[in-house]
Amino acid sequence: MQQQEPETTTLEGGAAAVDQQAERVSFIRRLTRIREFTILMVIVVLIIVLAVLNSTFLSPNNIVSTILSIVMMAIVSVGMTVALVSGGFDLSVGSVMSMSGVVAGSLVLGGMNVWLAVIIGLAASCLSGLITGLFIGKVRINPFIMTLGMQGVIQGVAYVVTQGAPVSVTGVSAGFLYLGQGNLLGIPVLIWILAVIVVVADYLMRRAVVARKVYYIGSNESAAYLSGIRVARAKIWIYIFTAILAGIAGILTLSRFSVASPTAGLGMELQAIAACIIGGASLSGGEGTVFGALLGSVLVGVVDDALVLLNVSVYWQSLVLGCVLIAAVTMDVLTHREKNS
Partner 1 sequence: MERAPLLEARKIRKRFPGTLALDGVDLSVLPGEIHAVMGENGAGKSTLLNILTGSLSHDEGQILVKGQEVNFRTPVEARANGLAIVHQELSLFPAVSVMENVLVGRSIARMGLMDRKQMAPLVRSYLSKFDATFGPETIVKNLSVSQQQIVEIVKALVMEADVYIFDEPTSALSVEDAEKLFVVLRQLRQQGKGIIYVSHKFDEIFDLSDRVSVLRDGRLIGTSSVSEVAPEDVIKMMVGRSLDRIYPEKTDHTGKKLMEVTDLNAGVRCHNVSFDLYEGEILGVFGLVGAGRTEIMRALAGIDPKTGGQVVLNGKHLRIRSIQDAISHGIFYLTEDRKQQGLYLKLSIRDDIASVHLEALTKRGFFQTKSASTIATEVMQELRVKASSVNQLINSLSGGNQQKVMIGKWLLRKPRILILDEPTRGIDVGAKAEIHQLLRRLANEGIGVVFISSELPEIVGLSDRVLVIYDGGVAGTLTGGDINDETIMEYASGLHIQELVR
Q: Which residues lie near partner 1 (CB under 8 A)?
A: 4, 8-12, 16-22, 207-210, 212-213, 215-216, 219-220, 222-230, 286
Q: What are phi and psi of 291, to 5 degrees?
A: -60, -40
SS3 72: helix
What sign does the CA torsion over 326, 197, 117, 70 have? negative
Minimum CB–partner distance for residue 208 and partner 1 (Å): 6
Minimum CB–partner distance for residue 77 and partner 1 (Å): 23
240 alpha-carbon distance from chain centroid: 14
In the bound state with partner 1, the residue whose beta carbon lies nearer, of 49 and 200, is 200
Strands 167-168 and 259-260: antiparallel
CA dihedral 153, 154, 160, 163 (to 10 degrees): -120
Minimum CB–partner distance for residue 283 and partner 1 (Å): 14
In the bound state with partner 1, the residue whose beta carbon lies nearer, of 123 and 204, is 204
In the bound state with partner 1, the residue whose beta carbon lies nearer, of 207 and 337, is 207
Minimum CB–partner distance for residue 13 and partner 1 (Å): 11
In the bound state with partner 1, the residue whose beta carbon lies nearer, of 78 and 224, is 224
In the bound state with partner 1, the residue whose beta carbon lies nearer, of 35 and 256, is 35
d(CA 287, CA 217): 11
Of the chain, the end-to-end C-alpha distance in Å amounts to 13
Minimum CB–partner distance for residue 145 and partner 1 (Å): 18
- Kind and range of the H or E run holding 316: none
